[in-house]
A and B are shown apart, each in its own frame.
Chain A
Amino acid sequence: MLVLSGRGQEFANRVSLESGQPVQQCYQCGKCTAGCPAASFMDYAPHQVIHLVQLGLEEVVLSCRAIWVCTSCYTCTARCPCRIEVARIMDILRARARRKGLHRGQRAALFADLFLDSVRRHGRLHELELGARWGLSTGQPWREADLAAGLVAKRKLRLRPPRIKGVEEVRRIFREAARLEEGEHG
């Protein structure tokens, strides 16, 4: 049972402001969900995610699996009759979930972390490294072995990490972006 009270409006307003999207305008037609490639794998469908935001159920929406199963395909955004950029709201929710530490245990969050860590360290993505660390972190090191073997055989997996001269600039971007976002949402 969900109790609706208190500062619901405030959360919805914050998300609206941060995303630039009129969340309250959604009338729950469900077209976002209807076109969503991942909806059947979500705990809350996209229109329900928006509804949870409308109702100010911050805890529920930031802890849900749906925002992490989203593929960022923008189908919802392209089709929303209320011109709400749903995918943009998903971004905002993921970022908020991260700031509250609610992303832990979400596989997509882990993937993003490993991906970006590789970029931060080399300036570009090192696919082999990402694959290896993913396997180790998820405790399933052999899960992608067949594909990896195929890639190696076709020389489609670079063994040595890339290295760019401006890697310090890239690290600066990571550092400054994190600092600014932290400051903004404190």
Chain B
Amino acid sequence: MVRYAYYPGCVAEGSGREYEMANRAVAARLGLELVEIEDWNCCGATPGHNTGHLLGLALPARNLALASGMGLDLVAPCAACYNRLVTAQREIACDPELQVLMGRLLGRDYHGDRRVLSMVEAVAAVGAERMKALTVRPLEGITVACYYGCLLVRPPAVIRGDDPEDPRLLDDLLRGVGATTVDWAHKTECCGAAQALPHEEVVLSRVRRILEAAVTFRADCIATACPLCHANLDQRQARVNRRFGTDYRMPVLYFTQLLGLAFGLNPGELGLGLHFVPTAELVRRIA
């Protein structure tokens, strides 16, 4: 049993509920204990750092300090939360002056010495052997377009590990449970992110390109690891079709949902009924 401090993020109880369900279920199956950070707060996401540099650092810093108090490494499933937590941790660590400032802002000593992992990294750390052993329904015949988005891989100076132009971690995980993944160029093309409300035209045009690329590669579904990407690709797919006269019906699944299916978990338990674009047919093919 590996224990992690767990930072669900604001949408875990809302629009990203199915991700949360799948993460919890898959973590349990993998033997990861996710201990929710008590009284965690919003990381500020894009509006935070867009508004003020210090604000963008201090909001995640409070959570880093809480995790540090727990003595556990931290897992953040949402790519945006993960990005902000890592950014804040790295920037503050490099600047002693910022460390002092953080103390003043948080009203407590700042420590940010625990590792921050994305959900993808935490799952990958379990190891391919164990994943394989747990797989009861291999995703054979299922073609997945792994969509990493921006914040899981960029900026490369901060988010280290995977290749920022051709990341492979998600692909490796899903191939490990029998899926075929496509070698497409849109793995890290931005979906428009937080501009969904202020500048929806940006999001719709980007989502269309990503969907079109996935269709071109004959993907059965897109796999993501970010609730914001998911919201844009899944919730707004109907709007893309309305706007551009297209007819995309591309299921967009969280990678943990796909893993859960491979592990034989119940689709309902994985929140697979909560999507805007129906997933039933895909689920049938696996189950």
Contact = CB atoms under 8 A, between A and B. Distances in A.
Interface stretch (A23-31, A53-61, A65-73): A65-73
B53 A181 contact: yes
A165 B13 contact: no
Given A41-B202, A72-B194, A172-B107, A95 B53 contact: yes
Interface in B151-169: 151, 153-157, 164-165
Given A108-B198, A156-B15, A164-B39, A169 B47 contact: no
A156 B42 CA distance: 18
Given A71-B193, A176-B105, A166 B41 contact: yes
A75 B59 CA distance: 24
Interface string B22-54: 000000000000000001111011111111111
Main secondary structure of the interface of A (DSSP, over half): helix
A177 B52 contact: yes
B14 A157 contact: yes
Contacts of A72: 46, 49-50, 150, 193-194
Contacts of B14: 127-128, 151, 156-158
A165 B40 CA distance: 9
Interface string A69-103: 10111110110000001010001101100100000
Contact of B197 (A40, A144, A154): A144
Contacts of A144: 197
A87 B40 CA distance: 27
Contact of A180 (B101, B165, B195, B201): B101
B150 A150 contact: no
11 contacts: A71-B195, A91-B53, A94-B51, A113-B47, A119-B41, A123-B41, A151-B235, A154-B274, A156-B18, A173-B58, A174-B55
B28 to A, nearest CB: 22
Given A127-B14, A169-B62, A111 B155 contact: no
A119 B44 contact: yes
B195 to A, nearest CB: 5
Nearest to B158: A74
B240 to A, nearest CB: 13
A38 B62 contact: no
A85 B45 contact: no
Contacts of B151: 73-74
A181 B47 contact: no
Nearest to A151: B15
A170 B41 contact: yes
Contact of B41 (A85, A111, A134, A164): A164
B193 A124 contact: no
A164 B40 contact: yes
A87 B59 contact: no
A64 interface: no
Assign chain A's interface to a size class: 35 or more
A52 interface: no
Contacts of B235: 147, 150-151
A157 B11 CA distance: 9
B212 interface: no
A170 B59 contact: yes
Given A75-B154, A173-B58, A174-B55, A119 B42 contact: yes
B187 interface: no
B194 A71 contact: yes
B17 A111 contact: no
A98 B195 contact: no
Interface in B250-287: 273-274, 276
Interface string A118-138: 010001110110010010000
B10 interface: yes
Given A38-B202, A75-B150, A150-B235, A111 B194 contact: yes
Going nearest first, the 10 A-B pairs with the smallest beta carbon separation are A112-B47, A73-B190, A74-B154, A107-B198, A125-B10, A37-B190, A73-B150, A177-B55, A108-B198, A115-B47
A68 B198 CA distance: 9
B198 A110 contact: yes
Nearest to A130: B197
Contact of B154 (A77, A125, A151): A77
A78 B236 CA distance: 27
Contacts of B197: 107, 111, 131, 134, 144
